[in-house]
Amino acid sequence: MFTLAIVGRPNVGKSTLFNRLVGKRLALVDDQPGVTRDLREGAARLGDLTFTIIDTAGLEEADAASLPGRMRALTERAVDMADASLFVVDARAGILPQDEVFADILRKKGAKVLLAVNKAEGRQGADASMDAWRLGLGQPIPISAEHGEGMGDLYTALDALREELNQPLPEEARTDVVTTDIELGEELDGDAAADAFFAISEERPAQVAVVGRPNAGKSTLINAIIGDERLLTGPEAGITRDAISVRTDWDGTPMRIFDTAGMRKKARISEKLEKMSVSDGLRAVKFAEVVVLLLDADKPFETQDLRLADLAEREGRAVVVAINKWDLVSEPGALKLMRAEFERLLPQLKGAPLVPVSALRGEGLEKLRAAVLRARDKWQMRVTTAKLNRWLYEMTVNHPPPAPGGRRIRLRYMTQAKTRPPTFIVFCSRPEELPDSYKRFLINGLRRDFKLEGTPIRLLWRKGENPFEGKARARKIH
């Protein structure tokens, strides 16, 4: 299966074409130029052709140290990684001097290049296609990524490329093309996951989302984990705009790690694009198994950090807290103080691992990996019904439930309904009268006694007797 990189100036429709070829709205699309900044990969399909496609940032002439310059360097790296490039120009704007500059760069690289003239609806598109011959990249392919026009001509060109690369056609059309990212607008409900322990494998990698405030170092951390400058980084806040997933083998463990846009306070988010970026990051949280909340050691536990941790808990995801820039911390006992502060501010995540790291230096990554894997195992842990009921008996004997109106509330039976996150059902006499303080007491006991620190716990209440009591009596009679 070959790899194709889509390149071109900003706002020529690269992400729209990417979404069409992968068959889902994976990439953010907006009228303003420069929306895409990182490299986004997807499994594309056109007819009976299947291939990997890379969406890239718009090519701009800029100083190498600037943000556009670093984006351009990342795009040129994608060209080197791919088997071929699809150079996209805008029929409505015509062939601009920048197009000629970048076409020359692609020729000098010796890369295999296909030329697509996007937004080529009507007579204007035909004129632009004729003009595109002067780029010297072969026959232009007029297309409309938005309306799906010209896909037949694009298929013909890609099929010829496949033959040139000596790539065989698949024996039959694939129906299980796996995308590397979440679809924009897709409802991803973790509660729909099968109630089973899923071992990590190449087919089912661990799903990890890295979240945090802008400029906390999320992209730098992921680059350090994968050992490659795969994601765009820099001193500017808010570089990452959409949730990018990266497949990696982290010290022998297959993982899919989602880099997300930095999330500010809702009141400060006014631009449409930033709202789209934040929504994309929130979907990544829903899709993850473990959420790594990355804090800045200089300013830990700001309001937005706490909201992100609370969001992950409410979504039922295992949480690991990584404290970045730890190499700058010199105070003795700082980690102990931070742990106490975290548990005070977020008691619902008491015991969640706090791991000091330095993304820039690549320090603390082994401990972070171990914490992520432990959190994932706890998140899908199952406790036998016998152990749960022995535990419930001891808890109610040592700390009896309250007796409103002089009548003791009886907790009769307990079982685990599901995992991911651990969810338990307790059958009792008057659940509506049981105070929240006693419910929290039981949740804290579950977390402590079954080693579920940092894992969201769901405790549901049902009125009635032990649902299996009658069955046990019937078995004795027979």
Q: List strand residue ranges (DSSP E) for 104-260, in order.
A: 113-118, 141-142, 206-211, 244-250, 253-259
CATH architecture under which domain 2-26+35-166 falls = 3-Layer(aba) Sandwich (3.40)
Q: Which residues contact 370 (CB under 8 A, 6 or more apart)?
A: none
Provide mean pLDDT across the span 9-14: 88
Q: Mean pLDDT highest for which of 177-186, 239-248, 265-274?
A: 239-248
Q: What mean pLDDT is reported for the chain?
A: 82
CB-count burial class (<10 Å; 0-12, 13-18, 19+) for 241: buried
* Other residues' Cβ atoms within 10 Å of the Cβ of residue 90: 20
Residue in the block written with tokens 């990890």: 208
Q: What are phi and psi of 439, to 5 degrees?
A: -65, -45
More reliable by pLDDT, 11 or 208 = 208
Instruction: Please classify residue 131 by burial: count the beta carbons closer than 10 Å to its beta carbon, then call 0-12 exposed, 13-18 middle and 19+ buried.
Output: middle
DSSP letter for each residue of 291-334: EEEEEETTSTT-HHHHHHHHHHHHTT-EEEEEEE-GGG---TTH
Q: What is residue 449's predicted lDDT score, i.e. its pLDDT? A: 96
- Mean pLDDT across the stretch 236-244? 57
Of 288, 300, 366, the residue nearest 329 (C-alpha): 300
Which top CATH class is 198-266+273-379? alpha beta
Of the candidates 257, 319, 315, which has an alpha carbon nearest to the alpha carbon of residue 286?
315
pLDDT exceeds 80 at position 27: no
pLDDT above 70: percentage of residues in the chain? 79
Per residue in 364-405, pLDDT tens? 999 999 999 999 999 999 999 999 999 999 999 999 999 888
> What average pLDDT score do residues 275-297 get?
78
142: which strand partners?
Answer: 117
Structure confidence at residue 41 (pLDDT) = 84
Could you tell me whether strands 84-90 and 141-142 are parallel, antiparallel, or unpaired per DSSP bridges? unpaired
Q: Please check whether the domain covering 385-463 is classified as CATH 3.30.300.20.
A: yes
Residues at the binding site for GTP are 8-15, 55-59, 118-121, 212-219, 259-263, 324-327
Stretch 72-76: mean pLDDT: 78
- Global pTM reads 0.72
Residue 417's H or E segment, with its range, is strand 411-418
Residues annotated in a binding site: 8-15, 55-59, 118-121, 212-219, 259-263, 324-327
Mean pLDDT of 28-33: 44
Asked whether residue 338 carries a pLDDT value surpassing 50, the answer given is: yes
Residue partners of 433: CB distance under 8 A and separation at least 6: 404, 409
Domain limits of the chain?
Answer: 2-26+35-166, 198-266+273-379, 385-463
Enter the tokens of residue 415: 């079982």
DSSP element (H, E) containing 415: strand 411-418
Do 2-26+35-166 and 198-266+273-379 share a fold?
Answer: yes
Structure tokens at 229: 């400058």
